[in-house]
């Protein structure tokens, strides 16, 4: 015979149950308790994951790849009154190799590489590690590199005044997309950066020391790379760069390699506050 157990129900009442049934019941209770504990742990982990995902900024994953822009310019009225035409300037720039209508910029973390279709070819490399921009070219000047200190704003060195930074209270359609505008204004002109806050996102901290061209201040507001840039120099011209293609890709670190450079006083007879021309050591 199986032994009997008595369960006290209260007020002197008892209920007799089979011992084996009681053991099964206790096992079920233990299993349910364990399931509840495990479920609670899983829910806590899931909730923590959700919190992390919501608190990490969307720009945590910065764009890596290449952006291609087309470039065009228009002369200011003052230049036209002086007899200069767009065609004349275009021909002159083509002759001296300074004309470019296509610009490709490759980004990888805090570095970028700019390639223009000048003739001879020229390119610039920004290294976050040094916070400097290195500009080089092919041809007769292949042994020269212009090094620009990106921590310096030229207007500030001359007037002790930094440019004003403003997000304009308007949006403009660029390539069928509504874009916001950040205006960087110097005494000599303005840069208007157009951007789509949902695309080409970057972590502005990667460029936090890049004062040159108002780049750090622009990214601090936009947290995204520009789809259009309009550069206006008062009394001279307006240059417009418009994004035409976007290619997300892994950029080779070798693209940002800088050759060995040595100082050369003869290349710096005219001093510019944020710039030094150096010789490429062969």
pLDDT by 10s per residue, the chain, length 282: 444 444 444 444 443 444 444 444 444 445 455 544 554 444 444 344 333 333 333 335 799 999 999 999 999 999 999 999 999 998 998 888 888 899 999 999 999 999 999 888 999 999 999 999 999 999 999 999 999 999 999 999 989 999 999 999 999 999 999 999 999 999 999 999 999 999 999 999 999 999 999 999 999 999 999 999 999 999 999 999 999 999 999 999 999 999 999 999 999 999 898 999 999 998
Between CA 201 and CA 225 the distance in angstroms is 6
**Single pTM value for the model:** 0.78
Which fold does the domain 59-280 belong to in CATH?
Answer: outer membrane lipoprotein receptor (LolB), chain A (2.50.20)
Report how far residue 230's alpha carbon sits from residue 191's, in angstroms, rounded to the nearest whole number: 6
Q: What Rg do the C-alpha atoms of the chain give, in angstroms? A: 32
Measuring CA to CA, which residue among 271, 126, 129, 115 is closest to residue 212?
126
């Amino acid at each position: 015979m199986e032994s009997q157990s008595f369960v006290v129900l209260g007020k002197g009442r008892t209920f007799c149950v089979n011992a084996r049934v009681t053991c099964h019941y206790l096992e079920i209770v233990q299993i349910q308790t364990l399931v509840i504990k495990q479920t609670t742990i899983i829910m806590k982990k899931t909730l923590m994951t959700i919190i992390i995902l919501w608190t990490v900024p969307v720009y945590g994953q910065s764009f890596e790849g290449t952006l291609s822009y087309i470039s065009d310019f228009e002369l200011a009225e003052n230049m036209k009154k002086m007899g200069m035409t767009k065609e004349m300037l275009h021909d002159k720039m083509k002759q001296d190799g300074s004309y470019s209508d296509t610009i490709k910029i490759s980004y990888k973390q805090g570095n970028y590489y700019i390639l223009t279709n000048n003739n001879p070819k020229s390119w610039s490399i920004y290294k976050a590690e040094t916070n400097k921009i290195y500009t080089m070219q092919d041809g007769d000047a292949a042994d020269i590199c212009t090094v620009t200190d990106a921590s310096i704003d030229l207007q500030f060195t001359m007037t002790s005044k930094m440019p004003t930074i403003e997000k304009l209270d308007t949006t403009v359609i660029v390539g069928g997309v509504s874009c916001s505008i950040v205006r960087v204004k110097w005494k000599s002109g303005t840069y208007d950066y157009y951007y789509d806050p949902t695309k080409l996102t970057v972590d502005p901290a990667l460029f936090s020391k890049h004062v040159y061209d108002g780049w750090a201040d622009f990214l601090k507001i936009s947290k995204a790379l520009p789809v259009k840039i309009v550069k206006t120099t008062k009394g001279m011209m307006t240059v417009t760069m418009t994004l035409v293609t976007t290619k997300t890709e892994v950029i080779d670190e070798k693209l940002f390699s800088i050759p060995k450079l040595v100082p050369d006083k003869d290349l710096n007879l005219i001093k510019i506050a944020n710039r030094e021309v150096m010789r490429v050591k062969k």
